[in-house]
Amino acid sequence: MSPDILDRLARGLAPHGLLFRGGFHPQPGDDVPARADGARVATVVMIGNAGPALWPAFTGSPEYRTRQAHALDAWTRRVVDGIAPGFGAEACYPFGGPPHLPFQRWAMRADTVWVSPLQILVHPEFGLWHAYRAALLFVDRLALPERAAGARPCDACADRPCLAACPVDAFTATAYDSARCREHVRSDAGRACLTTGCLARQACPIGRAARHAPSQAEWHMRAFIG
Ligand code: B12
């Protein structure tokens, strides 16, 4: 019965520009929270977005049009909280912390993604242009599709243009200096990062077709600098 549920879920998410992004059966080290109703979680399903599909759905929403605070989070919560009960699931979210739920770790359990040199996760098709918006907690153990096979694209990327593209060297091979990044994006010198999106992220050769349009890129960068 579960492929049917997952198909139905994917169809429910699609009009909102949201995608089913894999799932996993939690083990103790996964730090999956208990459901509010106290039931044990047997399946976690990841919901996210990739490329430009989410943007028209979100910008048509009242949360965006009225410039509500944390509009994307509020929109996500309304949409996903509206869908989850129809599947007997409870939703949890990557925002609202700290503490933050370990969505990137969960994503690596569920989806074909790996940590990139920029620390955000890279996907073989979408590159760095994808995100996770919610996870659904199911009591039933759903049969899940196999995690697609694939190799981390960064291992075959000798030049690593992402690490060289940041104007203020906010990225090293092991760390991201978010304070330095934010200070630059807020300054006149950081105008290109603000209006076209993170230059390091854009330097990645993978998934270029999934890059954000300038309006979406700027919206995310403005949300980042606060
Ligand atoms: C706090 C936060 C930030 C902070 C600080 C980020 C930082 N690097 O210091 C700020 C505000 C700066 C930020 C900015 C952005 N963020 Co942010 N952020 C988060 C948030 C809410 C929590 C991250 C966290 O603290 N994780 C720590 C623990 C709780 O999570 P975790 O899964 O266990 O994390 C582990 C893995 O990353 C793992 N890991 C790291 N390296 C390695 C290596 C190996 C080999 C392994 C196995 C594991 C591993 O270890 C981490 C610690 O346990 C997440 C959402 C979430 N709940 O995860 C989004 C998130 C990471 N951000 C995201 C994005 C897109 C961005 C921006 C690009 C947004 C923008 N402006 O466009 C920027 C740029 C950040 C960048 N280049 O790194 C996405 C990344 C999606 C993706 N493709 O991976 C996330 C997942 C949110 C989402 N909705 O999808 N972010």
Q: State how far Cα 225 lies from the chain centre.
A: 18
Provide the pairing of β-strand 19-24 with 43-50: antiparallel
| Best CA proximity match to 106, nearest among 213, 25, 221 | 25
**96 Rama sector, left if φ>0, alpha if ψ -120 to 50, beta otherwise:** left
The residues lining ligand 1, judged by C-beta closer than 6 Å to any ligand atom, are 94, 100-105, 115, 118-121, 128, 130-133, 176, 178, 220-221, 224
Per-residue pLDDT of the chain (226 residues; tens, 9 = 90+): 466 999 999 999 999 999 999 999 999 999 999 999 999 999 999 999 998 899 999 999 999 999 999 999 999 999 999 999 999 999 999 999 999 999 999 999 999 999 999 999 999 999 999 999 999 999 999 999 988 888 999 999 999 999 999 999 999 878 999 999 999 999 999 999 999 999 999 999 999 999 999 999 999 999 999 9
Please list the residues that pair with 132 across neighbouring strands.
48
pLDDT of the residue at 192: 97
Tally Cβ neighbours within 10 Å of residue 135: 28
pTM: 0.95
Which amino acid is it at 65? Answer: R
For residue 138, the SS3 value is strand
Ligand 1 centroid, distance to 219 Cα (angstroms) = 18
Distance in Å from the first CA to the final CA of the chain: 44
pLDDT of the residue at 1: 47
Ligand 1 centroid, distance to 1 Cα (angstroms) = 34
Ligand 1 pocket, mutate which of 49, 103, 133, 218 (most atoms under 8 A from CB): 103
Atom number in ligand 1 closest to CA 94: 57
Q: Report the residue count for the chain.
A: 226
Ligand 1 pocket, mutate which of 55, 104, 155, 211 (most atoms under 8 A from CB): 104
CB 58 within 8 A of CB 64: yes
pLDDT of the residue at 3: 67
pLDDT of the residue at 2: 64
